[in-house]
Structure 1
């Protein structure tokens, strides 16, 4: 029964990065060009406002500060670094830098959660990073130090957000939807002035643009982040960080199906390595003495 519950938790959590893998197609095919920060803001802010209103839960001053920090790490700063890195780095290099997240999560969990370091975790890191490298074999490697630095900050931001979310949990008077909503609302609010200053508002929006923003808001934020934060409650942080690699797998497969992009045997091997890493990092059932 415990093994079934763990498998269910991993499966539900995996839906989030699989959805995030579709963001590239939605952004390139449905949204206005050259407005990634605006897309990130409209993905987070309306979704957060909707969830906060329906949950009707307001945090205390102590928890408001915590939620602001979590919203900054999980949404605001991470989204900014993600889109900045995508601008200055090829997707392959950005993905490789981001693949160091499980290593950071292991170290932060050891420091903040008193978690034990294990050989299984180190082996999972080896499989996961190798899998991401194989997935991005079709990309041309061009190093930009500013892009690498910002991508590294994004990696640290997301890893810190995952571990702190596990450490603090959520307020007793707040549902999972409310907890998700406050982070999206506060993170989106932080992104809004940056998006308006850097990109401004598009002069014209088509029906496909509205559909793309609606998809990012409902599926890409409300559904996916609710499942993601549920997973953080149910699973160890290191398992969560490896599940996040599935966004790269999803992006490659959807690009092959929808955009007629190539999918090589090396990339399929990389996907297999990522699945092995998730299995390797999954919590083991403990045997109780009779």
Structure 2
């Protein structure tokens, strides 16, 4: 048996025996889902420029994580490293920051300007399908008939939730799909390149560097905002975006990737649109309808099938 096949079997056995994996996935997707309505509120309702908002969000989140890591592990352990090479480590975290933070979240911030938080999350999290195809080609994670059926059902769930009626902004949909592809490419890279240091160090660096890239884009776009308009709700949602939705979700996500296979772990991302819809109903007063119910059922079946074997 090939080493990759043995590793995949080991991951599957670990997932079945250890509930920690599922708890990590649950809270990661829950926090990710909460970021969509909170980001939508600040960008659309409060008119905060998207790249400026997300840039500062990730810079602060990254700095907080790195400060925590330097206190816990020591300054030497915060230096990014890949295969005992600092230059390779810096290149990896910068690449991931550009794809995961600046690419995926940058495209999401643009999508949120014209699309609802629910619709943005639904389109963005079609990425398990693209990741399954990439993992099949580059990670030797073969797509079985059962796994393909499960992924197809998950995609069908998000398509049903889109609905056939209504007009949607085509640019917003395009931005969300580009963000989805960036995420899939990033997952492939992180799975093929194992970072030498703590997962929290890795997350901190990619958030910080990705946030800096977003602020550069914000400056290039000449985004401006009157900070005197900030109120208590703005501060609350901004802190939420930094701690649970950034530090929490990204750290737990990379931890889950390290434990499980890329395809299996990414299949749980279909939960994010469901959580996003729930939060949008609670905080943004979105309406619960048949699309949401059908999507939820299809996603549950999809997750059951993809983890059946």
Alignment TM-score, normalising by the size of structure 2: 0.82
Contact 2:150-2:303 within 8 A present in 1 as well? yes
Which residue of 1 is the match for residue 37 of structure 2?
25
Contact 2:94-2:206 within 8 A present in 1 as well? yes
SS in 2 for 1:260: coil
Which residue of 2 is the match for residue 186 of structure 1?
209
Q: Residues 161, 218 of structure 1: CA spacing in aligned structure 2 closer, same or farther, 3 A cutoff?
A: same
Q: Which moved more, 1:257-266 or 1:43-52?
A: 257-266
Which residue of 2 is the match for residue 202 of structure 1?
226
CA distance in 2 between partners of 1:3 and 1:63 (Å)? 28
CA distance in 2 between partners of 1:120 and 1:157 (Å)? 26
2:255 to 226, 230, 240: 230
1:163 to 185, 188, 194: 188
Unpaired segments of 5 or more residues in structure 1? 285-290
1:54 is the counterpart of 2:75: no
CA distance in 2 between partners of 1:110 and 1:24 (Å)? 30
Q: Residues 202, 209 of structure 1: CA spacing in aligned structure 2 closer, same or farther, 3 A cutoff?
A: same
Contact 1:135-1:248 within 8 A present in 2 as well? no
Contact 2:150-2:301 within 8 A present in 1 as well? yes
SS in 1 for 2:52: helix
- CA deviation profile, 1:148-190 (whole Å, cap 9, x unmatched): 443332121100111111111211xx11211110111111111
SS in 1 for 2:112: helix
RMSD value over aligned CA atoms? 2.5
Residue 3 of structure 1 and its aligned partner are, at CA, apart by 5.2
Residue 88 of structure 1 and its aligned partner are, at CA, apart by 4.7
- CA deviation profile, 1:120-174 (whole Å, cap 9, x unmatched): 2211121111111233339723352x44443332121100111111111211xx1
1:41 is the counterpart of 2:65: no
CA distance in 2 between partners of 1:243 and 1:276 (Å)? 12
CA distance in 1 between partners of 2:234 and 2:109 (Å)? 19
Residue 58 of structure 1 and its aligned partner are, at CA, apart by 0.3
Unpaired segments of 5 or more residues in structure 2? 1-12, 70-74, 81-85
Contact 2:28-2:253 within 8 A present in 1 as well? yes
Contact 1:90-1:142 within 8 A present in 2 as well? no
Q: Which moved more, 1:70-79 or 1:133-142?
A: 133-142
CA distance in 2 between partners of 1:90 and 1:111 (Å)? 34
1:268 is the counterpart of 2:280: no
Residue 61 of structure 1 and its aligned partner are, at CA, apart by 0.7
Number of paired residues?
281
CA distance in 2 between partners of 1:93 and 1:209 (Å)? 22
CA distance in 2 between partners of 1:168 and 1:3 (Å)? 21
2:304 to 240, 265, 279: 279
CA distance in 1 between partners of 2:137 and 2:162 (Å)? 32
Contact 2:117-2:276 within 8 A present in 1 as well? no
Which residue of 1 is the match for residue 22 of structure 2?
10
Q: Which moved more, 1:65-74 or 1:274-283?
A: 274-283
